[in-house]
A and B are shown apart, each in its own frame.
Chain A
Amino acid sequence: MVKVKFFGLLRLDLKTSEKLLEAGSVRELIGVLAKDIGQEPYNEKKLKEHVIFVNGKNIVDLKMFRTKLKDGDVVSFMSPVSGG
């Protein structure tokens, strides 16, 4: 199982800070998560627009959505903000 952590608006909307899900890659996790959430606007496209960290590393610096996942990995979804 992969621990999925939520930050920002996603966390407020889902009213939870984390979930445990089964997935072998970030791409697969996004599909599983979208189904698990089952509410708009959090479809796969929207989830892909989040900043995603795997074990503390931004997937931009890994293999993006092709990044592999294994049991115990922690994946964080964060929606950046810009108010001041």
Chain B
Amino acid sequence: MKAKELADGVKGKSAAVIGCGGLGGWTAEMLARAALRKLVVCDGDVFTLSNGNRQLYCTQSTLNRNKAEVAAEKIRDIGLTDEVKAYGVFVTKENVKEIVEGVDVVFDCCDNVDTRLMIEEYCGEADILLVHGAINDVYGQVTVVYPRDNTLKKLYSHGAETTETTIACVPAFVASLQVALGMKALCGEGEKSLFVADVIDGTIDKLGE
């Protein structure tokens, strides 16, 4: 697909970004420039000094401020999204419906397996497209989850690997892939492969269907 087809294809669509830290900040920024009708951002956390090495919206002026509130301000300032809504809370089983209700796609940019599985289950029940992204060290994974495919349940059957830290180019790279696949899926051209990106090797491999 060409860029114009993708840009035209997402006009009038709405999305929710769950988690506005490393991946979520970059994802929100790129979606803000895709000129969607509505963009919802959600995160209960505040920016701290340790976020500065990789999180786009963490600056001296945003320290100690809620990540979703800051992201919403940036998106409004970009000025291409008709409606921007911020939820300064962590997504839970109790509030997920209110947060993602009515959106065409949810971007999973969370930082823990339990929340990711809960979101997958809800999106399955509510028939909402889910675009999953996750990072660790110098690599990351992205996949489009179609309702009731339980892709993440299979993926995380033994938990997840973690090392100490990452660097800014990793969430930026993986978020780019996440937004690209999300836009493609919104245009009806989605695929179910698991994309594994190794930022330092400069490789993206497709596993699965």
Contacts and interface: CB of A to CB of B under 8 A. Distances in A.
Interface stretch (B3-11, B81-89, B106-114, B182-190): B106-114
Contacts of A20: none
A84 to B, nearest CB: 4
Chain A CB within 10 Å, residue with most, of B137, B138, B194, B203: B194
Contacts, number: 95
Interface residues on A, range: 20 to 34
Contacts of B162: 81-83
26 contacts: A7-B198, A8-B161, A9-B136, A9-B163, A12-B137, A17-B203, A49-B158, A50-B158, A51-B158, A53-B207, A58-B208, A76-B205, A76-B207, A78-B196, A80-B134, A80-B141, A80-B156, A81-B136, A81-B139, A82-B112, A82-B116, A82-B156, A82-B162, A83-B166, A84-B22, A84-B24
Contacts of B205: 5, 7, 76
B1 interface: no
Contacts of A11: 139, 198
A72 interface: no
